[in-house]
Structure 1
Amino acid sequence: MAARGKAFVASLSGTSLEYYDFAVYGTASALVFPQLFFPGSDPLTGTLLAFTTFAVGYISRPVGGFVFGRLGDTLGRKRVLVTTLLLIGFATVLIGLLPTYETIGVTAPIVLVLLRFAQGVGVGGEWGSAVLLSGEFGDPRRRGFWSSAAQIGPPAGNLLANGVFAVLAATLTSDQLLDWGWRVAFLLSALLVAFGLWIRLTLEDTPVFRALQASGETSAAPIREVVRTQPRGLVAAILSRLGPDVSYSLLTVYVLTYATRTAGFERAQVLSAVLMGSALQLGLVPAFGALSDRINRRLVSAFAVVGAGIWVFVLFPAVASGSFGLLVLGVVVGLVLHAAAYGPQAAFITEQFSPRLRSSGSSLGYTVAGVLGGAVAPLLLTSLQADLGWAAAAGYVALACVLSVVGLALGRNYDPREDEELAAAAAPAEAAADRP
C-alpha cells in the first residue's frame, strides 16, 4: 500500500477506535449511567449528573490539545498518535471494570469522572495529529478528501458504539444490561486499541514534518506563537466547529434521552435511527470533503451549517410525534447535514495555520470548540427542553450554527503552494540526511 493510502487507513482506523471509546461513554450516559452511578437522584437529575460526567470529556480536551498539539509540532505527529491511542484505550477499559455506586459508594462517580477526564485528554490530543497524518501525506490540492479520514472517525466510532449497545439492548433484558451488559461495550476497547497500534506503529512521520525538521523550521514554542501571530485563524477554527459539535451532540447523545422519555420510544428504536444516519456518514463525510476540493470549502460548510440550523426545528416535532418513521427521518437528515459540514472541516481548520504551527493551532481550535459546543450541549438541551420547551432547545442549536457561519466567514482560503514550496526547499536537506 502506498504511504498516503496507509496514512489514510491509519488515521481513519485509529480515530474510529478512539471515538468508539468516546461515543460508548456518551451512549452509556444516556441509557445506563444515571441508574448505576447516581441512583439516589430523580430521573432528570440523574440524567443531568450523567451528562455532566460526559461533559468532563470535552472540558479536558484542551489539556490534550495543549500538551499533545505542542508535541505534534516539536516531536512529530506519529509519536503523539501512539500515545493518545494508549491513553484513551486504557481509560475506557478501566471504566468497563469500575464498580458501581452500589458497591463502592461515592467513590464510583468520582473515579468515573477521572477516567472520563483521561478519555478527553486522549481525544483532545488525537485529532490534530490524526488530521495531519492523512492530510500531509496526501496531495495538498486534495486536502479536503485526504483530511476527511480523521473525520470519518466520529461517525464510524459512533456507529460501532451504538451498534454494540443496540445488540446488547436487543439480546439482554434491562436488568442484564444494567448488571453486566454495559461493561462488554467498554472492555471491547482492548481489542480495538491493539489493532490501532499495529497500524500506527508501522508508519513514519509525515512528509511535511520531516521537511520542517530538515529545514530547521520547527517552532520551539508553537502554542505561544499561534496565539501571538495567528489569532484570527484560531478564532475562525473555534467558531466554525460550534454548530456541527452542538448538532452532533443532539443527534447522537441527547436524542437518546429525549426520544425515550418524551415520545416513549424503545432504546433499540432510537439506537437504530442513529445507526442509520451514522452509516450514511461513513460515505458522505469523505464525499463532501472531496467536494470541498472542487468548490470553496467555506461555502460547502456554510450551506450545511445553515441547513442544520433550520432542520433542528423540524427534528424536535418529528421525534415528539411518536412515529418511528419521522424519528428516522429527523435523525438521518440531521446527520447528513452534519456530514456536509464535517467533511470539509478538518482541511478548513488545519489550513488556517502555517505548516510549522498546524498541530498546535488545529488542536487548540478543535478542543476549545469542544468545550464551548459539545461539552455543554447535552446539559443545556436537557435543561432548556425541561424548563422552556423544545423550541428553546432548538434555538440554542440554531444559535451555535449562526456562530459557525461567522467563523467560516473569518477563515482564509488556503494556498497549497505553501506545502509545495516547503517540500521543495527541504528536499535537498532531507536527501542529504538520508545518505550514509
Structure 2
Amino acid sequence: MNSPTMQTDDRIASIRTIVAASAIGTTIEWYDFLIYATAASLVLNKLFFPTEDPLVGKLISISTIGVGFFARPFGAVILSHFGDRLGRKSPLILTMTSMGLATTLIGLLPTYASIGIAAPILLVACRLVQGIAVGGEWGGAVLIATEHSPPEKRGFYGSLVQIGFPLGMSLGTASFFALAYLDDKQFMSWGWRIPFLASALLVAIGIFVRLRIDETPDFKRVEREGKIERIPVLEVIRRHPKDLLIGLGARITEISWIYVLTIFGLSYAVTTLALPRSLVLGAIALGAAVELITIPLFGHLSDRVGRRPVYLLGCIAAIGLSFPIFWALATRDSWMVIAAFVVGMSVGHGIMYGVQASFLSEMFPSNLRYTGASLGYQLAAPIGGGLVPLAAAAVVELTHGATWPVSLLMILIALTTVLAVRAARETAPIFESQRLTAHPQPVVTVLAD
C-alpha cells in the first residue's frame, strides 16, 4: 500500500506533468499566432499589400493583424460551447490542428506579384482561422491546469500555462532574429516563410502531448451531477454579465500594453527610428524570456496576497511606464532600447498576465467556466490587440513621430482596468474562505446551492 507521502508526491508529479503539457501546447499555439504579427510589421505589407504610399501599405498590413483579434471572440463562443458541454480536452485538439494548418498555409502562399488580389484575400482567410483557433485555446488550456490544481495553488499553476505566451513569442521572435543574417532580397524572397513552415512540426508535437492529458476533475463532476448547460454562452450572459464586463475591463490594459510594445513598438523602432531590426527583435525576445520569471512569480504571489492587489500593482506599473518606455526608445541607445522592451514586457505586462488565468477563471462556476473565462478574456482582443496598435501607428504618423498621445492612451486604458478590478470580488480561495467565515451564508442558501 502506498503511503500518504507517496500519494502526495504522485499527485504533485501528475499536476506538474499536466501543466507542462498544457503549457507546451499553448506555447506552440502562441508561436503560430504571434509570428504573423512580426511578419506583418516587417514584410507582409510589401509582399501582399503593395501600394504607392508606404504608410497605407503598413497600416493595411498591421490592420490584418487585427483580423485575428476580431475573430477571437467568435472562436471563444464556438469552442467554449463544446468545452463546457463535452470537456476541456477535445476543443484543445481542434484548436491546435486548425491553427497549425492555417499557419503552414501562410508560409506557402504566393504573393501579390504572383496571383494579384487573391494573395491578400487568402492571407486574411488564414488569419481568420488563426483567430478562431486561439479564441478557443486559452480557456481550455488554463482550465486544464487550474482545475487539476489544489485551490491554494491555482494562481501559480495557472500562471505556468500563461508562460506559453512569452515562450511562443520568444520562439517566434528568435526565428526571425535567426534570419537576420540574410540580406533583404533573401529575406523577402523566402526567408520570412521559414517560421511559418516550421509550425507543421511543432503542431505535430503539440497534438501528441495534448492527447495524453486527462479530462479535469471539475468537468467530470459537472458531468456526473448532470449540471451541463444546453447553451452555455446564453447562461453566462444571463447570469454573469457583471463578471463578463469585469473580465473585459481587467484584460484590456494587459493586451493593449503587450501589443503596443511588440506590434507598434517594433514597427516604430525599425521604421521611424531606423533602429536595426536585429536589435529590436533581440530586445523583444529578451523581454519575453524575462517574463518566464515574472509571470509565475506574480501568479504565486496572488495565492498569498490575493488576485486583486497583484492585478492593481500591474496597472500601476503600466501607468508609470507609459512615458518612460518611449523616452528610452527615442534615445536610440542600444541598452536603453533593450531596457525599454524588457521592463515594459516583464513588468508592465508580466504582473497582470501572471494572475490573469486564476482571476478570470475563478469568477465563474465550473459548468460555465470555459465559456465565461474565454469570453471575458477574448472580448478585449479586438480592441486591445486589433485597434489600439493600429491607432498608435496612425497617431504617430499624423503627429510626425510624436509618441505622447500613445502614452496618454495607455494611461487612460489602464485607469479603466483599475476601475474594473476594484469592482471585482476577490477570488483567491484563501480570501474567499475568510470572507465566508466572517459573513456566513444563511443555511437555506447553502442548502439550495
Shorter chain as denominator, the TM-score bin is over 0.9
Q: Which residue of 2 aligns with 1:409?
A: 422
Per the TM alignment, residue 284 of structure 1 is displaced from its structure 2 partner at its CA by 1.5
**Of residues 248, 261, 274 in structure 2, which corresponds to 1:251?**
261
Per the TM alignment, residue 131 of structure 1 is displaced from its structure 2 partner at its CA by 0.5
Partner amino acid for 2:420? G
Q: Quote the Cα distance in structure 2 between the aligned partners of 1:41 and 1:127.
A: 39
**Of residues 261, 279, 282 in structure 2, which corresponds to 1:272?**
282
Q: Quote the Cα distance in structure 2 between the aligned partners of 1:66 and 1:270.
A: 36
Q: Quote the Cα distance in structure 1 between the aligned partners of 2:143 and 2:394.
A: 37
Q: Which residue of 2 aligns with 1:332?
A: 342
- 8 Å Cα contact 1:288/1:340 also seen in 2: yes
Q: Quote the Cα distance in structure 1 between the aligned partners of 2:334 and 2:273.
A: 10
Q: Which residue of 2 aligns with 1:154?
A: 165
Per the TM alignment, residue 310 of structure 1 is displaced from its structure 2 partner at its CA by 2.1
Q: Quote the Cα distance in structure 2 between the aligned partners of 1:164 and 1:377.
A: 26
**Of residues 323, 337, 349 in structure 1, which corresponds to 2:360?**
349
Q: Quote the Cα distance in structure 2 between the aligned partners of 1:91 and 1:175.
A: 25
Show structure 1 runs of 5+ residues with no match: 421-436
Q: Which whole-Å deviations, capped at 9, do the CAs of 1:216-255 have from their partners, x for residues lacking one? A: 1121121111111111111111110111101100121211
What pairs with 1:271-350 in structure 2 (closer than 5 Å)? 271-337=281-347, 338-350=349-361
In the alignment of these two chains, the number of paired residues is 419
Per the TM alignment, residue 416 of structure 1 is displaced from its structure 2 partner at its CA by 3.6
Q: Which residue of 2 aligns with 1:73?
A: 84
Q: Which whole-Å deviations, capped at 9, do the CAs of 1:252-280 have from their partners, x for residues lacking one? A: 12111111122220100100111111100
Q: Which residue of 2 aligns with 1:127?
A: 138
SS of 2:336's equivalent? helix
- 8 Å Cα contact 1:162/1:271 also seen in 2: yes
Question: Are residue 94 (structure 1) and residue 105 (structure 2) matched?
Answer: yes
SS of 1:311's equivalent? helix
SS of 1:376's equivalent? helix
Question: Are residue 396 (structure 1) and residue 409 (structure 2) matched?
Answer: yes
Q: Which whole-Å deviations, capped at 9, do the CAs of 1:347-367 have from their partners, x for residues lacking one? A: 111111111110000111111
- 8 Å Cα contact 1:53/1:113 also seen in 2: yes
SS of 1:45's equivalent? helix
**Of residues 178, 189, 192 in structure 2, which corresponds to 1:179?**
189
Per the normalisation by structure 2, the TM-score is 0.91
Per the TM alignment, residue 406 of structure 1 is displaced from its structure 2 partner at its CA by 1.4
- 8 Å Cα contact 1:156/1:282 also seen in 2: yes
Partner amino acid for 1:390? T
Partner amino acid for 1:303? L
SS of 1:32's equivalent? helix
Larger CA deviation: 107-116 vs 41-50: 41-50
Q: Which residue of 2 aligns with 1:139?
A: 150
Q: Quote the Cα distance in structure 2 between the aligned partners of 1:250 and 1:418.
A: 34
Q: Quote the Cα distance in structure 2 between the aligned partners of 1:149 and 1:82.
A: 20
What pairs with 1:56-71 in structure 2 (closer than 5 Å)? 56-71=67-82
Q: Which whole-Å deviations, capped at 9, do the CAs of 1:162-183 have from their partners, x for residues lacking one? A: 00000011x2111101000010
Per the TM alignment, residue 146 of structure 1 is displaced from its structure 2 partner at its CA by 1.1
Partner amino acid for 1:228? R
Q: Quote the Cα distance in structure 1 between the aligned partners of 2:244 and 2:429.
A: 19
Question: Are residue 35 (structure 1) and residue 46 (structure 2) matched?
Answer: yes
Per the normalisation by structure 1, the TM-score is 0.94
Q: Which whole-Å deviations, capped at 9, do the CAs of 1:316-338 have from their partners, x for residues lacking one? A: 12111111111111111111221
- 8 Å Cα contact 2:303/2:428 also seen in 1: no
SS of 1:264's equivalent? coil
Q: Quote the Cα distance in structure 2 between the aligned partners of 1:237 and 1:406.
A: 12
SS of 2:343's equivalent? helix
Query: Which aligned segments of 4 or more residues in structure 1 are displaced greater than 4 angstroms?
Result: 417-420
Q: Which whole-Å deviations, capped at 9, do the CAs of 1:56-115 have from their partners, x for residues lacking one? A: 000000111000111110010000100000011100000000000010001100110010
Q: Which whole-Å deviations, capped at 9, do the CAs of 1:413-433 have from their partners, x for residues lacking one? A: 12649999xxxxxxxxxxxxx
- 8 Å Cα contact 2:288/2:345 also seen in 1: yes
Percent of pairs with identical residues: 39
Q: Quote the Cα distance in structure 1 between the aligned partners of 2:321 and 2:66.
A: 25
